[in-house]
Structure formats: structure tokens, C-alpha cells
């Protein structure tokens, strides 16, 4: 039975790209699919088996278990998130960046930070300061400009062989990057309103696009809702990778690095080893989670 991956879904039709010859066949899904006794609907990104029912038609017969499953956009088997943040227009903001990073950690994705609009920055110190803020987290950081082409080759290398979703606030340049990487894609690029410095939202159906040298990109930004619903405080402690090596030294097991005495993370922040702004955001997110549990 042929194997393949769903790359697009439109009103009950699934477009399955064959793993052998990369041809795309329009398929229906017949019957109900289950894993672990849960009924599921096929998603873009699902690895499936299918049977041919006509010259250019087929039917999906089984869906493989998923390695990851994002809800917004609904897409399966994404491996990597490029979290996009502009350096200017809109100006760099670490709070939304940290929120996106926490979301990507929660989904267990490999993470890369992409700082866009490098051409609008005159003082390289501004970029060094941001890199310093994230140095302990270990996230790779790539700095790009679609005007000068800086960082695009590096970004392409990061995308090679991976299935990646781009995430970030409106107007930071996600569509522009995708356009640059996929010259024939039909992405909509909205102009940032100069007055408010914010881009308008453009919504599209999610689709997995193939890259020339292998790998694929979801053409719709991920995690657009920025609440931390459903996340536990414990999960949050793991969503800051720079705290992992400190956990063991905290006096209490399961320390939330909040008001506990003998907290190694708090001491690390005080000693200047851990970034203060990241820690402030950690406490803010922890507070949100604790408030939500209370009511
Ligand atoms: N100077 C400069 N402008 C850029 C760069 N990348 C994107 N822009 C501009 O930033 C604006 C917003 O870019 P988009 O690609 O639409 O941003 P987006 O993140 O896709 O926004 P949404 O679709 O709203 O989520 C556009 O006017 C782009 O031309 C860059 O590297 N340098
Ligand atoms: Zn602690």
C-alpha cells in the first residue's frame, strides 16, 4: 500500500504526497481512524497509507501516530519552530518572544530564534545585547534581512531536511522570509501601518511546502493564541532550558524558583549568571498559570 504525507486539506479532500515519487494525489478519508482508542481526523502533516481508487484519486486507509500535534494551525509532525522577532518596525520585544519560546518548548519542538530587519539596525551593539540575553538558553540565533539577503543562506541551512513552522507577532516579517525562501509561493505580505507599527493579519489555509534541498515549511504561522492555557507550572520550569542545570542545586525538589528558600535559579539571577529579564518573564508566566489554576 502506498505511503505518503498529507500536505494540504481542503473541504474533506486530503492531498497526499507519495513518499516514493513525490506525486500528489487527492484523497478522501473513509471510516474512522483511531490511536490509543481516541478517534482522530487526519491532519496536514500526517503520515498515511492510502489506496488508489482512480487515475488521480485515492482513499486514506490508515494514519500513523504523530510525533507532535499543533492546534493552531492544526498540523501534525512538525519538528522545528523558527520563532521570528523583528529588530525594528516593530521594535524588538523580548516578552512576546519569550512567550513564543515557551509555546514552542511546550510542543517539544526544536527551536531557532530569527531576528529580522537587520538592515534597519545601525548599532550592532543592539544585536549583541539580544544575543547575550539568550546565550544561556542555547537557542541558535540567526539575524536576517530580506533587503540585503543577510542570514538567508544560514536560515536555509537550518531548514534543510526539517519540517518547520514559523511563529511570531504580526508584522515581524514571517511572510517576507517565506517569500524569499520560496520564490514561487503565493504568500500575502501586508504593509506595516507606519503609525501603529503593526502588521495586519492575513489568514490562509495551512499547507506544507517543499524546499528545494529537502525539508518542508508550514506556510501558515503557528501558535497565534498566546495564552498559556493548559500548561502546568512544572512544564514551565522545563520551558526555560537555561534553568535545567540549576534545578539539581535548588534546595527543594520541584522548586518553582519563586519564593522557595535556597533556590539556585534565583541565586543565579542575582549573581548575574542568568538573565534578569528572562527570569522576570518566567515569573510573570508562572503567575499567570497559578492564577488560572486558582479560579
Ligand atoms: N526593512 C525591512 N523590512 C522588512 C524585512 N522583512 C519584512 N519587512 C517588511 O515588514 C512588513 C511586514 O512583513 P510581513 O512579512 O508581512 O510580516 P508577517 O510577520 O508575515 O506579518 P503577518 O502576516 O501580519 O503575520 C512588510 O512591509 C515587509 O516589507 C526586512 O528584512 N527588512
Ligand atoms: Zn529553584
What CA–CA distance (Å, rounded) separates 124 from 105? Answer: 29
pLDDT exceeds cutoff 50 at 202? no
What CA–CA distance (Å, rounded) separates 9 from 16? Answer: 9
Q: Do residues 149 and 176 make contact, with C-beta atoms less than 8 angstroms apart? A: no
Per-residue H/E/C for 205-226: CCEEEECCCCCEEECCCCCCCC
Instruction: Report which protein residue has its CA nearest ligand 1's atom 1.
Output: 117
Residue 85, SS3 per DSSP: strand
Indicate if ipTM > 0.90.
Answer: yes
Q: Residue 210's beta-bridge partner residues?
A: 216
pLDDT exceeds cutoff 50 at 186? no
Q: Is 85 annotated as a binding residue?
A: no
Q: Angle formed by the axes of helices 152-159 and 174-181, to 10°?
A: 80
Statement to judge: residues 205 and 245 lie in one domain = no
Please check whether residue 135 lies inside any domain of the structure.
yes
Tens-digit pLDDT profile for residues 103-120 = 999 999 999 999 999 999
Cell numbers of 235, please?
512544564
Q: Could you give the count of Cα atoms lying within 13 Å of 164 in the half-sphere of its Cβ?
A: 29
CATH number (domain holding residue 23):
2.40.50.140
Ligand 1 neighbourhood includes 151 CB (under 6 angstroms):
no
Tens-digit pLDDT profile for residues 18-47 = 998 889 999 999 877 877 777 889 999 999
**Span 245-267, mean pLDDT?**
96
Q: Is 185 annotated as a binding residue?
A: no
Among 104, 162, 136, 95, smallest CA distance to 273 is for 136
Please check whether residue 168 lies inside any domain of the structure.
yes
Provide the residue range defining the domain that includes 264: 233-294
**What is the atom index within ligand 1 of the atom nearest the CA of 116?**
31
CB contact set of 277 (below 8 Å; sequence gap of 6+): 94, 133
pLDDT of residue 38: 79
Total structural domains in the chain? Answer: 3
Amino acid at each position: 500500500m502506498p505511503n505518503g504525507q498529507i500536505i494540504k486539506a481542503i473541504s474533506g479532500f486530503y492531498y497526499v504526497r507519495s513518499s516514493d515519487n513525490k506525486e500528489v494525489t487527492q484523497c478522501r478519508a473513509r471510516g474512522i481512524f483511531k490511536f490509543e482508542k481516541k478517534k482522530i481526523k487526519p491532519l496536514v502533516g500526517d503520515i498515511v497509507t492510502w489506496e488508489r481508487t482512480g487515475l488521480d484519486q485515492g482513499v486514506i486507509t490508515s494514519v500513523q501516530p504523530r510525533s507532535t500535534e499543533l492546534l493552531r494551525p492544526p498540523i501534525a509532525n512538525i519538528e522545528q519552530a523558527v520563532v521570528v522577532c523583528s529588530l525594528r518596525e516593530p521594535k524588538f520585544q523580548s516578552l512576546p518572544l519569550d512567550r513564543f519560546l515557551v509555546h514552542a518548548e511546550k510542543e517539544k519542538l526544536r527551536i531557532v530564534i530569527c531576528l529580522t530587519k537587520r538592515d534597519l539596525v545601525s548599532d550592532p551593539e543592539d544585536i549583541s545585547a539580544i544575543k547575550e540575553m539568550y546565550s544561556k538558553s542555547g537557542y541558535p540565533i540567526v539575524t536576517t534581512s530580506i533587503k540585503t539577503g543577510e542570514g538567508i543562506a544560514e536560515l536555509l541551512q537550518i531548514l534543510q531536511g526539517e519540517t518547520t513552522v514559523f511563529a511570531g507577532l504580526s508584522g515581524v516579517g514571517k511572510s517576507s522570509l517565506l517569500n524569499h525562501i520560496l520564490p514561487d509561493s503565493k504568500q500575502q505580505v501586508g504593509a506595516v501601518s507606519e503609525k501603529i507599527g503593526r502588521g495586519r493579519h492575513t489568514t490562509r489555509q495551512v499547507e506544507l511546502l517543499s524546499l528545494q534541498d529537502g525539508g518542508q515549511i508550514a506556510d501558515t504561522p503557528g501558535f497565534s493564541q498566546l495564552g498559556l492555557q493548559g500548561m502546568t507550572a512544572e512544564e514551565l520550569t522545563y520551558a526555560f532550558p537555561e534553568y535545567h542545570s540549576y534545578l539539581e542545586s535548588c534546595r527543594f525538589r520541584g522548586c518553582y524558583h519563586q519564593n522557595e528558600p535556597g533556590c539556585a535559579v534565583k541565586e543565579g539571577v542575582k549573581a548575574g549568571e542568568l538573565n534578569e529579564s528572562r527570569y522576570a518573564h518566567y515569573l510573570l508566566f508562572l503567575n499567570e498559570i497559578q492564577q488560572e489554576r486558582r479560579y
